[in-house]
Amino acid sequence: MTLTNNLKSFEIRAFELLDRLKWFNRLRWLAIIGIFVVTEFVVLGLKIKIVKFPFYICILVLIIANISYSLVLKVINKLDIQTRLNKATILANFQIAFDLLILTILLYYSGGIDNPFSYYYVFHIVIASMLLKSSHCYFQTFLASILYSGLLLLQYNSLIPKYYIFETNLIPSNYELIRISGTIVAFVSTMFILAYITSSISERLRIKENLLLETNMKLVDLDVKKSEFVMMAAHELKSPLATIQFMLKTLKGGYIGVNLDEKVIEQVNKIETRISMLLKLVTDLLDLSKIKTGFGNREFKKVSLVPKLQKTIEFFNSQAKEMNIKMDVNILGDESDFIIDGDDEYLSNVFNNIISNAIKYSYKEGKVEIILKKENNEIIFICKDYGIGIPEKDLNLIFEEFHRTSISKKHTQFGSGVGLAITKKIIELHNGSITVNSEVGKGSEFIIKLPINKKNMV
Ligand code: ADP
């Protein structure tokens, strides 16, 4: 495993432990209510004579402890990840040990060996195996054994006063010794067998979890490597393609001293279109792999969106005119309202992709409506067209690489299916969101929300 992998599994362990401690906290509230209800039931319902006072003290102590644990948990959550795991482990050990002590005290005041609630030690051992590593779980098992056996032995030797709930003092003393020894042996062996079973299951699960994590990290590494390879290949392809495009223009323009006839020009035009499509695909792939590998990441700067949007609209105006598409642009606010922390080039990419799609997938004589507005601390960009629309089953898929809807393929051959994948990644880098509403044959509406102040690094 690499260093990053170790760090990740370590982080996951910390998060998992903190999460389980929160759950343990909630469980303890239930236990506190349970102790109260059972005490009242035993006294009022079963009319068994027990001294209630120690029970109320234990309940109060548990309430104070549980509140303190949740406060400590909040403090631990603010620490760095390494310290967080260490402190959380100490807290978990302390909580279990303290709960074992309280359980022993409760048992002592409610009949000791005769109290069937001594089975409750089992829960503590199971919880210990879930929260702690095996060695710590065995330590807690040892502690439970000492506490319970100690209680029985101290009572048997009359070193502490006896609190009986049944008339067990009538049992002959030679039988009492056998009973106590038998109970201790059965108890200690049960606890250790239980600790062994539960902690080995938990340990195995943990190993599997780490294995999954490791595999996942390897896959992520491989994906980055794949993107790096695509980036290299796209980079190598881009310049020869651009050269071919330039040479075709030279050829068509008659700059090499040969005038081409109509038929040849027609063929050259076709080649030129194909080369443009290829160049667009290569550029998209290059952009996508740059974003995925973090290769082209830069620090965020203040970016003014209005001029950027106007420039993009200007760029697509002639294409829209060719198709008789009306561009309706509404900027609801001043230019100064639309300045965000972001990446200049990437944000241009977003406007380019969304607006070019809106035109590309519109019918002739259609309309594209663009709105830029500010709501609370967010900038909202809406681009609505009345074109071919997107089938419902494709609504999420269009943000995946290379996915094109079948109706869009029929509508135009231009398109690589990469633009929206890039757009989504860029929006995520800016902590924003992108959603789409669409109906086939009626049009699509893309909504992008970008937070204004985010001093993240891309
Ligand atoms: P492309 O280069 O194919 O347009 P994109 O990644 O930009 O790639 O879009 C992915 C697919 O989503 C498109 O091929 C098309 O099927 C669908 N799509 C995107 N925008 C629209 C739109 N405004 N109207 C209809 N379909 C769209």
What integer pLDDT is reported at residue 162 of this predicted model? 75
- Residue whose CA is closest, atom 25 of ligand 1? 389
Ligand 1 midpoint to CA 96 (Å): 57
362 Cβ closer than 6 Å to some ligand 1 atom = no
What integer pLDDT is reported at residue 168 of this predicted model? 54
95 Cβ closer than 6 Å to some ligand 1 atom = no
What integer pLDDT is reported at residue 297 of this predicted model? 66
66 Cβ closer than 6 Å to some ligand 1 atom = no
- Residue whose CA is closest, atom 13 of ligand 1? 404
Percent share of the chain, pLDDT over 70: 93
Encoded tokens for 10:
């370590």
444 Cβ closer than 6 Å to some ligand 1 atom = yes
**pLDDT interval class at 315 (50, 70, 90):** very high
What integer pLDDT is reported at residue 169 of this predicted model? 54
CA distance 64 to 143: 23
By mean pLDDT, which of 30-39, 176-185, 321-330, 420-429 is the weakest?
Answer: 176-185
Kindly report the average pLDDT of the chain as a whole number. Answer: 88
**Average pLDDT value for residue range 219-229:** 88
280 Cβ closer than 6 Å to some ligand 1 atom = no
Ligand 1 midpoint to CA 357 (Å): 6
Kindly tell me if the per-residue pLDDT of 4 is higher than 50: no
**360 in Cβ contact with 368 (< 8 Å):** no
Length of the chain, in residues: 458
Nearest to 457 by CA among 291, 298, 349: 298
**79 in Cβ contact with 88 (< 8 Å):** no
Ligand 1 midpoint to CA 398 (Å): 7
DSSP 8-state assignment for residue 158: T
361 Cβ closer than 6 Å to some ligand 1 atom = yes
**300 in Cβ contact with 458 (< 8 Å):** yes
Look up the pTM and report it. 0.62
387 Cβ closer than 6 Å to some ligand 1 atom = yes
284 Cβ closer than 6 Å to some ligand 1 atom = no
What integer pLDDT is reported at residue 234 of this predicted model? 87
Phi then psi for residue 157, to 5 deg, are -85, 10
**pLDDT interval class at 3 (50, 70, 90):** very low
**Which ligand 1 atom lies nearest to the CA of residue 280?**
2
**Average pLDDT value for residue range 353-366:** 95
Percent share of the chain, pLDDT over 90: 51
CA distance 233 to 369: 38
By mean pLDDT, which of 70-79, 197-206, 306-315, 318-327 is the weakest?
Answer: 197-206
Kindly tell me if the per-residue pLDDT of 119 is higher than 70: yes
Would you call 303 helix, strand, or coil by DSSP? Answer: strand
**Which CA distances in Å does 287 have to 234, 343, 430?**
9, 13, 16
What integer pLDDT is reported at residue 138 of this predicted model? 94
